[in-house]
Amino acid sequence: MKKIIVLLLIVVSSLNVLGQSFVGKHKLEIKKEMKENHKDFYFSKEVMGKSNFIKFVDFDGYRTYLFVLDDDGYCKYHMLMCDYSLLKSMIDSLNKTYEYEENLVWYDYISGKQNFEIKIKKEEWYFSIITKKLDKKE
């Protein structure tokens, strides 16, 4: 029962993070926002070089958040990597919040200013929820 409650809390806090797109924001703004509003994540590391990203990890070890940055430190897209125990609840939440297309892809047309594509990519040990700005041609 305790594990179910912990997983439920993790899902609810993940949805709070998912509901906000960091695409286009500077890394300093992202760090500040994560520190102030997503206290279940801690800053893990920043890499600027061939690959540019900042990484946050949750205290329970179920989720890792990567913000992939351009050379100037602005977020190109972000990826929330989760344990498979969270998959069903994350899909249910995405279905309630965004417009489902197909093949585990959703669209956020609600923001009004910018449209975003949200997709789930399954890996062997985890799955990722990737949020990126929708290309004009799509």
Q: How confident is the model at residue 131 (pLDDT cuts 50, 70, 90)?
A: very high
Percentage of the residues of the chain whose pLDDT score is greater than 90? 70
Q: How far apart are the C-alpha atoms of 6 and 60, rounded to whole Å?
A: 9
Q: Taking the CB of residue 74, how many other CB atoms lie within 10 A of it?
A: 17
Flag whether 138 is in a domain: no
Structure confidence by residue, pLDDT tens digits, 58-89: 999 899 999 999 999 999 999 999 999 999 99
Structure confidence by residue, pLDDT tens digits, 6-50: 444 444 444 444 556 899 999 999 999 999 999 999 999 999 988
Strands (E), the chain: 41-47, 53-58, 63-69, 75-82, 99-100, 105-108, 116-122, 127-133
pLDDT given at position 66: 97
Work out how many domains the chain is built from and give that number: 1
Flag whether 80 is in a domain: yes
Q: Which residues make Cβ contacts (< 8 Å) with residue 113, sequence separation at least 6? A: none
Q: How far apart are the C-alpha atoms of 64 and 75, rounded to whole Å?
A: 16
> In terms of residue numbers, what domain contains 73?
2-133
Q: How confident is the model at residue 109 (pLDDT cuts 50, 70, 90)?
A: confident
Q: How confident is the model at residue 134 (pLDDT cuts 50, 70, 90)?
A: confident
Flag whether 96 is in a domain: yes
Q: How far apart are the C-alpha atoms of 69 and 75, rounded to whole Å?
A: 4
Q: Give me the chain's average pLDDT, please.
A: 85
Flag whether 22 is in a domain: yes
